[in-house]
Amino acid sequence: MPERLPAPLSGQVALVTGAGRGIGAAVAIKLSALGAQTVLCGRSRPALEHTAQAIVEAGNQSTIFECDVTDLRSVESSAQHVERDFHRLDILVNNAGIAGPSGPLYQLPPDEWEAIFNTNLRGVYYMIRAFAPLMIRARSGHIINISSLAGKNPLPNGAAYSASKWGLNGLTYATAEELRAHNIRVSLVCPGSVHTDFSLHAGKSAERMLQASDVAHAVAMIVTQAPQSFASEILLRPTQKP
């Protein structure tokens, strides 16, 4: 009988923000299936527990940390817990994000603008600031930022969301250059419209839209690449227009 090969991410620790639902849950489940000890981060413990249950039912392991990426103290506390409990972090997936209301920019309330940028851009900065030092000490790691095709193309009636994702793209490109010297690979995944239970797109065919599992597959491809290369950017589009 042939010897069973170890899972590709066996022994690694992966942290996913916004892991309670949608893309974040799919990514966490996928990384766990590949053998990673997965840390689930998010603001809603019941949602995180739902993802954790799916991971356990598949015979894999995860840990829950309640974390608000817009709160630096919350992020730093999570980093301290990860360092204390695992002594390492191999994969950081910055997935947490919000879209905000749809409408012209001149009608967008300032507090909505702040909420979008605090989550989609400032939150990624906080996470990298808190967790990159663990990777730098190990001279190894993956950071994957989940952006959007709205960070590549105009999005009328979603200007703040689009601007936050354009900013995230620029942050990712620059951080990738900063961390290459430390053998840390920083990548960007930009999906088009993704059909999830909490982010439905009126007028579009759910069957033709991207699924959360498609984004998880892209993340899995990135973190299982050979060490001498990395995919700096993946653009995901549906085969057929929804």
Query: How far is residue 7's CA from residue 33's CA, in Å, rounded to a whole number?
Result: 8
189-202 pLDDT, tens digit each: 999 989 776 554 55
Residue 205 — pLDDT band, cuts 50, 70, 90? low
Under a CB-based contact definition with an 8 Å cutoff, are residues 92 and 124 in contact? no
Query: Known catalytic residues?
Result: 161
Residue 181: count of CB within 10 angstroms of its CB: 9
Full set of structural domains in the chain with CATH = 13-236 (3.40.50.720)
pLDDT at 196: 73
114-152 pLDDT, tens digit each: 999 999 999 999 999 999 999 999 999 999 999 999 999
Query: How far is residue 135's CA from residue 28's CA, in Å, rounded to a whole number?
Result: 19
Maximum distance among all Cα pairs of the chain, rounded to whole angstroms = 67
